[in-house]
Chains A and B, each alone.
Chain A
Amino acid sequence: AQSVTQLDSHVSVSEGTPVLLRCNYSSSYSPSLFWYVQHPNKGLQLLLKYTSAATLVKGINGFEAEFKKSETSFHLTKPSAHMSDAAEYFCVVSDPNTGKLIFGQGTTLQVKP
């Protein structure tokens, strides 16, 4: 069975400071991992995905994530937070046979001016 655990339900940063959202995964297979973002009253948007190519994955809006097999982690980072980054972030693993997505509980990112 596959699962993801987001280690923080809420993260608060000041604008211009780094962002770190933590995610650990559990998978019997070589996993495909994703980060999705959900802004209020908007649909889910893919930030980035890892599919066994480069371990450091770059996404949209300056976000990136590093796949660490030894730590079973896939943390999301951004060097400098912007007010528009305030949203709900989901770490996700996909089932290799069906493609269905298994979501973490989500991390709410608050960005203070």
Chain B
Amino acid sequence: DTGVSQDPRHKITKRGQNVTFRCDPISEHNRLYWYRQTLGQGPEFLTYFQNEAQLEKSRLLSDRFSAERPKGSFSTLEIQRTEQGDSAMYLCASSRIRDPASNEQFFGPGTRLTVL
């Protein structure tokens, strides 16, 4: 299967702990996006990478959040000192640069985070 993969699929942690999620995009895709989806809401943009460069971060991304995409391949999203409000589904998507506005983004299955 050559789709977008995310690991882990589920994560339960205690408040104050750090967590890290991984996303493996489709191999030829230059752009990688992170979104967060809370219950009953549509996904919200967090940040995106073009190759290894992080080009935009949402104001939703507090200083407890950090994302990387070393070598322009897989990406990690780390949350430090987790809070109960961080409980959500974290979605990763990838696309080609060619035409940013019309490119389809391919989504991974998501990582569901529960903070106790």
Contacts and interface: CB of A to CB of B under 8 A. Distances in A.
Chain A complexes with chain B: yes
A73 B8 CA distance: 38
A9 B95 CA distance: 29
A2 to B, nearest CB: 10
A92 B110 CA distance: 18
B107 A100 contact: no
Interface residues of A, number: 26
A87 interface: no
Interface string B8-41: 0000000000000000000000010101000011
A46 B93 CA distance: 12
Contacts, number: 69
A106 to B, nearest CB: 5
A43 B107 contact: yes
B41 A106 contact: yes
Nearest to A104: B42
B2 to A, nearest CB: 14
Interface of A: 29, 32, 34, 36, 42-46, 49, 51, 90, 92, 94-106
Interface of B: 4, 31, 33, 35, 40-45, 48, 55-56, 91, 93, 95, 99-105, 107-110
